[in-house]
Amino acid sequence: MDNILRVDMGAEGGPQFSEEPLGDYAGLGGRIMTSTVVGKEVDPLCHPLSAENKLVIAPGLLSGSTAVMSGRISVGCKSPLTGTIKESNAGGQGAQVMARLGYAAIILEGKPKDDKLYKLLINKDGVKIETADELKLLGNYDTVEKLIDQYGDKITCISIGSAGERKMSAASIAITDMEVRPTRHCGRGGTGAVMGSKGLKAIVLDDTDCSMRPPKDPDAFKTANKAFVAGLKKHPVTGEGLPAYGTNILTNVINEAGGYPARNFQSGQFEGASKISGETQAELEKSRGGKATHGCHRGCIIRCSGTFLDKNGNFLTKQPEYETVWAHGGNCGIDDLDAIALIDRLDDDYGVDTIEMGATVAVAMEAGLAEFGDAEAAINLVKEVGKGSHLGRILGNGAAVTGQVFGVERVPVVKGQALPAYDPRSVQGIGVTYATSTMGADHTAGYAVTANILGVGGKVDPLKPDGQIELSRNLQVATAAVDSTGMCLFIAFALLDQPETFQALIDMLNAFYGLNLTADDVTAMGQKVLKIEREFNIKAGFTKEHDRLPAFFKKEKLPPHNVVFDVKDEELDQFYNF
């Protein structure tokens, strides 16, 4: 990854590209690359859909190598959903292929002076930009199918659906998986709308005849990678639970703990949880000839994804993840896996974040647009987004906009972004993460569920405020570093419980780059990322008062524990004192 590909979508005479050496961005990857570029090159006060915003796409530091689990790709920009800096990442083949093509980042800037749509083509022979008007308003599935017909089935696609073209704030960016299906998404923050504002429908990558990225010290790298694999395989979460049942294994766990938000955060338990649990889902998938275990990219050994077939045995979608099953399931009072899977397919096709859309539909239900539990009505609401109708445009801009339009008070958002599948009253550490994350409510930013519920990396009482600030802070710093490596965040379970597995990751980085990093250096990298992001937000007008949960979390007691979010504002204000 020796170069940056810079694409000026607003150049005179049409989009132009140029390649440049890494320069000041040398040694960066993933989230530290995207946030550094956005922090340095984007005006924090710009409109997110303006020519001044930039979309930065970056593989991780270890992407494109033989390191297992190294296939996460980061996308960064100023978010149209939150107004903050944003990094959203996904699996799929994008990071591995882009890294092997030699690019540490693709930076999209400007916007077309016409209303044409474009596609960016990259292979070993070079780069081309072509018009793509034939793809206008197509869903991601039809878009990818047409691109395969034109460029072959060895490609990897990064694309947007109709929501991104229409610049909806919940729009995602799709990354194709090993089967060249647009099932992996940079979902959060509306990155798809920014790509749409640049007039870019798709990036087509082809790494045919490109070799793996070689480490500086092959023997040491191989040894470290082997130790890392062993650590992942022996941990009960990464070696057993996730491969067997996928992320949806959490449904029964979180529901039992009373932290599973039901019917727009009215309760911490859902009576239909067992019908949509990971165990039930895995049995259903296998009974229809699908798979409960599947990797989303080459080199994945946890294999937490799967294949969901419809009642007729036809492919419908990838295995719906825990957040998706909750968002369109329990959060909307729906206990029908087939309905949830269909909505997941629609979300992926239109190109919208499943968490944001599920939260939005629940807010719409509270507003009276549908009844909780009405799966058909939920499907029809999501289809409005695909149509681009007036209602669809409201819904496609997320839960905060929908709540404002329809006069709903209980709107679960922070900085404009919907809360994921853990109620902060019963999982107080994740509430700290929601409130203080630089990117709005985001469970992955600092997954305090580890110590609050799962007993991974220690134990902190989830119902009390004590120790939650330190827990979330340490996890947010660690996560920012992991997001920079290109590693899947699920490696964190093993890293938190097994010091030798954490050391193996550091050894891989050192062997690959010829470095002498220590654990303290990795911590410093994570802290640097958060500081860059925090500084951007401050310049964009955000203050400590924005690091707050909606008031109802402090007022409404959540059944079954009948608790409120108890972490004080004064404690939240100390979060960034590191």
Give 266-286 as a DSSP string: TBS--TTGGGGSHHHHHHHHH
Are domains 3-205 and 248-421 of this chain identical in fold?
Answer: no
Q: Please report, to the nearest 10 degrees, the dihedral formed by the alpha carbons of residues 490, 492, 497, 502 taken in order.
A: 120
Q: Domain locations in the chain?
A: 3-205, 248-421
pLDDT of residue 116: 94
Q: What phi and psi values does residue 461 have, to the nearest 5 degrees?
A: -55, 120
Are the beta carbons of 311 and 337 closer than 8 angstroms?
Answer: no
Give the DSSP letter of residue 11.
-
Q: For 6-9, which contacts have Cβ atoms below 8 Å and span 24 or more sequence positions?
A: 6/106, 6/107, 6/109, 7/106, 7/107, 7/108, 7/109, 7/120, 7/129, 7/200, 8/109, 8/110, 9/108, 9/109, 9/110, 9/111, 9/112, 9/118, 9/198, 9/199, 9/200
Could you tell me the fold of the domain covering 3-205? Aldehyde Ferredoxin Oxidoreductase;  A, domain 1 (3.60.9)
Are 305 and 320 a contacting pair, CB within 8 Å?
A: no
d(CA 178, CA 352): 21
Write down the pLDDT at residue 541: 98
Q: What angle do CA 380, 259, 74 make, to 5 degrees?
A: 65
Q: Which residues of the chain have pLDDT under 50?
A: none
User: 273-311 burial string, b = 16+ CB within 10 Å, else e?
Assistant: bebbbbebbbebbeebebbbbbbbbebbebbbbbbbbee
The pair of three-digit structure tokens given for residue 454, joined into one six-digit string: 């799962």
Look at residue 2 in the predicted model and tell me its pLDDT: 86
List CB contacts of 375: < 8 A, sequence separation 6 or more.
Answer: 334, 336, 339
pLDDT at res. 299: 86
Q: How many CA atoms lie within 13 A of 528 on its CB side?
A: 16
417's tokens: 């972004």
**Which element (helix H / strand E) includes 265?**
none
Identify the CA nearest to 429 among candidates 395, 455, 398, 393: 455
Residue 325's closest CA among 361, 362, 358?
A: 358
Give the model's pLDDT for residue 296: 87
CATH 1.10.357.10, domain 248-421, yes or no: no
For the chain, the straight-line distance linking the first and the last C-alpha, in angstroms and rounded, comes to 32
* Side-chain-side CA neighbours of residue 270 (13 Å): 35
Q: Report the C-alpha gap between 574 and 23 in whole angstroms.
A: 35
Residues 6+ apart with CB under 8 A from 499: none
483: left (phi over 0), alpha (psi -120 to 50) or beta: alpha
pLDDT of residue 501: 96
Give pTM, 2 decimals. Answer: 0.97
Q: What pLDDT score was predicted for residue 491? A: 93
pLDDT given at position 20: 96
**CB-count burial class (<10 Å; 0-12, 13-18, 19+) for 544:** middle
For residue 138, what are its two tokens? 């197509």
Cα 90 to Cα 30, 58, 71, 217, 397: the distances in Å are 11, 11, 8, 28, 21
Radius of gyration in angstroms for the set of CA atoms belonging to the chain, rounded to a whole number: 22
**How many helices and strands (H and E) does the chain possess?**
24, 17
